[in-house]
């Protein structure tokens, strides 16, 4: 966690992906159709305290939300859903803080928080690597 904070002194964004070195930031997979995952995740985000749903672009699988941090900064977060096949969906998250200073690891923590909520919501469908 200390390394995250040190990296966060200069970096103000974080992203997940296939090749992420940190296992916590690897793309998540669910055994569920993209449409079902979309419904579950957007419904969850609408009720999730601290997050504000800004817009949804279903045909490209993007959900844009924002979050205010304790320090009053705003994070812009994009969740991307990819339909791998009719019964498998991947979810990636990109989070960036507005402003020029580093984020002290808050984007990293936001991503882990969102994945925790998504994993809980889609627990029955989670595919463990």
Q: Render pLDDT for 72-113 as a digit per residue (tens, 0 to 9).
A: 889 999 999 999 999 999 999 999 999 877 788 899 999 999
| Residues spanned by the domain of 58 | 2-127
The overall pTM is greater than 0.85: yes
DSSP 27: P
Q: Render pLDDT for 49-73 as a digit per residue (tens, 0 to 9).
A: 999 999 999 999 999 999 998 888 8
User: CATH number for the domain including 120?
Assistant: 3.30.310.220
Distance CA 28, CA 107 (A): 17
Overall domain count for the chain: 1
Mark residue 12 as left, alpha or beta (left: phi above 0; alpha: psi -120 to 50; beta: remaining): alpha
């Amino acid at each position: 966690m200390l390394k995250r904070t040190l990296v966060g002194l200069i970096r103000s964004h974080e992203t997940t992906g296939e090749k992420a070195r940190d296992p916590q930031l690897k793309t998540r997979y669910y055994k569920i159709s993209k449409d079902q995952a979309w419904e579950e995740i957007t419904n969850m985000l609408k009720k999730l305290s601290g997050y504000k749903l800004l817009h949804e672009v279903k045909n490209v699988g993007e959900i844009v939300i924002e979050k205010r941090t304790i320090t009053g900064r705003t994070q812009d977060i994009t969740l991307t859903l990819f339909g791998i096949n009719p019964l498998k969906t991947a979810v990636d998250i990109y989070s960036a803080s507005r402003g020029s200073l580093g984020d002290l690891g808050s984007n990293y923590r936001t991503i882990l928080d969102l994945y925790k909520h998504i994993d809980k919501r889609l627990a029955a469908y989670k595919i463990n690597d």
